[in-house]
Structure 1
Amino acid sequence: MGLQSGSTTNLPPTAGINIDIDVTAPQTATDGGMKLSKAGVELLVLTFNCAKNVVDVPVFGGHLRDALLGQDGLPELVVMSLQEIAPLSYSFLGEWWLRGYYDAFGQALNLAAAGQKYTLVKGKNVGMTALLVFALCPERISGTVEEGEVGFGAAGMGNKGAVGVRVNYQGQELTFVATHLAAMEWNLKKRNANWRAVVGGLTFEDPRVVLPGVFGERPATTQVDRSGAAERSMPLERTGSMDSSEEEDAPLLSPPSTFSVDSDDTPALTPEQKRRLQDISIFKPTSHLFVAGDLNYRISSTTPPPDSAFPSFDPASENHHSHFFSRDQLTQERLAGRTFHGMSEAEVTFGPTYKYDILDSPEGAVNEAAAAEGSEVPWKFASHRWPAWTDRVLFSAAEGAEVETGVYGSLPVVRSSDHRAVFWRGRVPLPDGDKKLEGEVVGKKKLPVDIDVWAWGRRQTARRRELVVGLLALVWSTKEGAVFLGTMAMVGMGWWWFAHGALL
């Protein structure tokens, strides 16, 4: 349950939110970011890897407060991308088991909102990745809230995956995607493949229902999906010839700022059919798109050798974190056209968001002075991982529109996670009532990856696997499971005693 308007709880002091200011935006500077224009709808998009722990409401609410109140009032929509939101058993069993985790974030948000109340419009998860959409005025959302998901963990399950929600806010469609990509330094190609799985497999309707009879009953051929989603249908288009490693490395777009042409053969699709497929994808031309998550892109493909120099938060240091960002894999791969095609990101000026070791005392901490004062959690970077900007928010504006960035920053370290939360705050325009976009944008913004028309069916199969795995994990690894096993043992012993006594 969220806090009611007017309820109060003492908040701890915030501890230095790191922010980025979009210096190219035509606005005047204000404390905490850039002053946003009044037109359009203001959003806050946050991503946080929860490390399977329930968030500490007063602490997280305190950190979130400055991000919420740093501009001219509260954002109208707050969207949270949450990875590893809960243990695998709860996550695989579904929403009922996650309500306590959702509620904690709702309480923290309303605590930070200083008396005003956000309403959870939609909570949706795929495995351990969840997407929460909160609104100050939910009545401004019209029509059906659309949702979609794709898993690319083991056997297509959602230990890694993406979940999407699309809303119509005052006549403007907004698409939000939360995702958790493959971990480990050496998995760069797999992360790129995960992104292709998101674009091709996350749809808001079943393509075979949208275009009945076009694709047949089953794929003619299959291939191993290197994204980890088991088998998948062959793409509808294949141009040229290249081996698997070349195909993974090759840019999908040329140049990176434009979209590739989608399928023209096997089966042949009419322009209207292509438009209908794109409209159920995350890249609907008339919708703004935000993708946030633990994207897991690192600054190296290997682990750090002993005594490596790590990024520093001291601006005077030769190892200041700004000197390491040129090694960021996400930026390199995006600009090369191999991942996150058509997406933009505000300038990153905050420090690495992963991987933090939380210490019991200030002694030996990177932030020893602040930790000794009690204003920050004592931490140091884990020695076996390069510090990296794994947690990001990217966006793509609707055709003919621009996304306006106010603040892009990170929240302070918390005890419950080895990641920092990252947030983006800005504004998107509402449609001009005198200008009709439908039909005008067709052909301008195209899919970088073909729609995987069989992903919807595979996801249903994977969901059944998740329920089995979730039940087994619940029984063997949780308090609820221990109670169940104990109860069954008592019942069995009672039955044996009764049967044995009756025989005597």
Structure 2
Amino acid sequence: MRPISNLDVFILTFNAAKREIDIPVFARHLYNAFGQNASSLPELLAISLQEMAPLAQAFIGSYVLNPYFQRYESAVNTAAAMFIAREERQSRPVDNPYTLITTRNVGMTGILLFARELEAVQGLRTAEVGFGAGDMANKGAVGLRILYRKDNEDGSLPISTELTFVSAHLAAMEWNLSKRNKNWESIVSGLIFEDPKKTSERSSTQHKLHNADDSETQEPLLGQEITQKAIHDVSIYKPGSHLFISGDLNYRVSKSSPAPNSTFPNLDPESPNHFSRFLSRDQLNAEKAAGRTLHGLSEAPIKFPPTYKLVPSPKSLIQRGSSQTESEDDGSDKFEWSWAVHRWPSWCDRILFLEIPWWARETAGDIRMNVTAYDAFPAVRSSDHRAVFLRLEIPMLEPAELLPTEYAFKTELGTDGHQPIDPRIKLPFPIDFRSRGHRAQVKKWESTIGWLMLVSQSKQGIVAFVVLLLVGLGTWWYQSR
């Protein structure tokens, strides 16, 4: 049994409320998070964003969104340089400790991936799905899949492990529980990293060529099995890949808005209304236990207060709930906050992961994901959410080492129905073969709508649009005479 190296990964999720971040403030919070239970920077860093920009800019995408992404890149490298200077006592800051590997967005939901070693990241693939109005991406999910390569602990040949990161923004409002679950179904069915039709056809063709001399009675069954495996591999639940789901999942602690006399959580550990007592009402935990959402995923214990909905407020106006004074070394973001009275304080912002499967632990040793930190940033003035981060050590298992064994298939599929089947064995929902094509068509409309919205936001834009429209109509009339 070979020694297993670990990969140090940091994942952050933040609902930015359609505003640009304050770089020094965000960098200070990142710097503090990097130092929580750690003395080194993570090797890989993923930032999951929701409402990262106004809807018009988000629908247009490309260069219009770059200023928003660039602020996070600046904050990450500022924080990392501060951390290195502290740990290594360097007087001169280090330039760009992290390389931004890629940025992707689906509407207002985005994801950024950073690495300390650029060459370690290989085979980048992306996927997206929208499930807002008309399947547009005012709500949706975007995914990245990579192969990370590093040296083994014993100095042997480098090893690789595959990672899948998903950033998601599900339906809002307390009463929209079933819609959130439906959004999750759309992610499982529609967030696919290759065209499943092409993958299935290629897999079947390769099988037929490889087994040209096999008996006809065996080929259809074996071909079907390979096709199902190929389809499974394009999903978020690819058996050979680690999976991380992060975002504003919007699960609340109630199906209705709070009444005027509702008791809110607070930060006093001695109080009967301490926030930890509200965790038993959390919709996500209940729906996951019932097998209706986030199938097979694990979450570290939550020890931080609800992350939504916060409002900055003068001290004299704080009447109930909790408040927190934030103090930066540079005094750049000092204020007090309270819970909004029309929304239940809830753990909307979450990060979950697939644990190492039992069949891999049987062969590679009893190894698991090692969570070193799961916490929330202090409140920031620009958003009504607190950012949440997860740091963990991931065993460097090759994709083949994570694959289910024949015994695992028989064991999982042979359950009596009371035990949920691992989604790496059987998908909780079927793959939607039309998803990628449908998404491409909807995206064209989003770009047009985005430009129309942007133009309509200024008088000059409206005038320019009317002039262009009149010129176009005049040209058409003249040519049609």
What range is the shorter-chain TM-score in? 0.7 to 0.9
User: For residue 462 of structure 2, what is the aligned residue in structure 1?
Assistant: 485
For the structure 1 residues 422 and 439, does the alpha-carbon distance in structure 2 shift closer, same or farther, using more than 3 Å as the test? closer
Alignment of 1:15-414 (within 5 A): 39-70=5-36, 71-113=38-80, 114=82, 115=94, 117-142=97-122, 144-170=123-149, 171-212=160-201, 270-359=224-313, 361-365=314-318, 370=325, 376-399=334-357, 400=360, 402-414=368-380
**C-alpha contact 1:287 1:397 (8 A) present in aligned 2:** no
- Tell me the SS of whatever aligns to 1:106: helix
- The normalised TM-score by structure 1 is 0.75
Q: Which amino acid aligns with 2:343?
A: R
Mean alpha-carbon deviation: is it higher for 363-372 or for 65-74? Answer: 363-372
**C-alpha contact 1:355 1:381 (8 A) present in aligned 2:** yes
Q: Which amino acid aligns with 2:353?
A: F
**C-alpha contact 1:367 1:378 (8 A) present in aligned 2:** no
Identify the structure with the greater helix proportion.
2
Q: CA deviation at 1:206?
A: 1.1
Percent identity of paired positions between Structure 1 and Structure 2: 43
Q: CA deviation at 1:156?
A: 0.9
Q: CA deviation at 1:487?
A: 4.8
For the structure 1 residues 437 and 50, does the alpha-carbon distance in structure 2 shift closer, same or farther, using more than 3 Å as the test? closer
**2: CA distance, partners of 1:82 / 1:290:** 14
**1: CA distance, partners of 2:107 / 2:469:** 34
Cα deviation digits, residues 409-464 of structure 1 (max 9, x gap): 0001011100000000111011269x755574784622111111111111111111
User: For residue 390 of structure 2, what is the aligned residue in structure 1?
Assistant: 424
Q: CA deviation at 1:363?
A: 2.5
**2: CA distance, partners of 1:451 / 1:489:** 44
Q: CA deviation at 1:488?
A: 5.9
**1: CA distance, partners of 2:121 / 2:377:** 29
- Tell me the SS of whatever aligns to 1:393: strand
For the structure 1 residues 405 and 467, does the alpha-carbon distance in structure 2 shift closer, same or farther, using more than 3 Å as the test? same
- Tell me the SS of whatever aligns to 2:445: helix
**C-alpha contact 2:258 2:343 (8 A) present in aligned 1:** yes
**1: CA distance, partners of 2:324 / 2:290:** 41
**C-alpha contact 2:288 2:294 (8 A) present in aligned 1:** yes
- Tell me the SS of whatever aligns to 1:370: coil
Q: Which amino acid aligns with 1:456?
A: R
Mean alpha-carbon deviation: is it higher for 405-414 or for 62-71? Answer: 62-71
**1: CA distance, partners of 2:170 / 2:267:** 27
- Tell me the SS of whatever aligns to 2:228: helix
**C-alpha contact 1:286 1:398 (8 A) present in aligned 2:** no
For the structure 1 residues 57 and 493, does the alpha-carbon distance in structure 2 shift closer, same or farther, using more than 3 Å as the test? same
Q: CA deviation at 1:199?
A: 0.5
**1: CA distance, partners of 2:190 / 2:323:** 46
**2: CA distance, partners of 1:186 / 1:369:** 29
**1: CA distance, partners of 2:469 / 2:182:** 49
Structure 2, unaligned stretches of length 5 or more?
A: 83-93, 150-159, 205-220, 361-366, 413-423, 472-481
**2: CA distance, partners of 1:437 / 1:49:** 33
For the structure 1 residues 130 and 199, does the alpha-carbon distance in structure 2 shift closer, same or farther, using more than 3 Å as the test? same
**C-alpha contact 1:285 1:398 (8 A) present in aligned 2:** no
**C-alpha contact 2:203 2:226 (8 A) present in aligned 1:** no
**1: CA distance, partners of 2:192 / 2:324:** 49
Q: CA deviation at 1:213?
A: 9.7
**2: CA distance, partners of 1:270 / 1:371:** 58
Q: Does 1:459 align with 2:425?
A: no
Alignment of 1:438-477 (within 5 A): 440=405, 443=409, 445-446=424-425, 447-477=427-457
